[in-house]
Amino acid sequence: MSAEQQPMTETSLKELLEAAGARVMSRSGRNEHYGSPREFSFEVKALFANGLGLHLLARQYNYRDPWEASGRVNDQVDALLMHKGQYREMPKGYPFFQGTDTEEEVDIERLLEIVATVKKINPKLFTLQELTGDL
């Protein structure tokens, strides 16, 4: 199965973030046993050693044809960047979270890029750009 067809599930995203060195927690909004309407399918929150976090929200499931994948899957998630417990935009010079704290409809390939970027950022950049008025 190619990366673009790789389904994103609560478990797979949790494992991806743990493999990247983050502390992770997750919860599902809906599942086959709980049909109460919620605005998300699942969410996963991660905190990296540098103090930055990601909040991933899967809004709704897609259904695929049987030859592609089985059952409910998510092809895209929304990613929110967190710093010191608040949603933040990323310091200037990065390809993500510029002018916004949310990247919407992120596929697995872009999510892998975001995770790799966020876990490497020095959080002092936030302070520096706040002092210079850039953030």
- Report the interhelical angle of 108-120 vs 10-19 (nearest 10°): 30
Exposed/middle/buried for residue 79 (C-beta within 10 Å: 0-12, 13-18, 19+): buried
Strands (E) in 35-126, as ranges, are 42-47, 52-58, 62-63, 72-73, 77-83, 86-87, 102-106
pLDDT tens per residue, range 51-97 = 999 999 987 655 555 445 555 557 788 999 999 989 999 988 889 99
Lowest mean pLDDT among 31-40, 80-89, 103-112: 31-40
Question: Mean pLDDT, the chain, as a whole number?
Answer: 81
Nearest to 5 by CA among 105, 107, 104: 107
Taking the model in full, what pTM does it have? 0.80
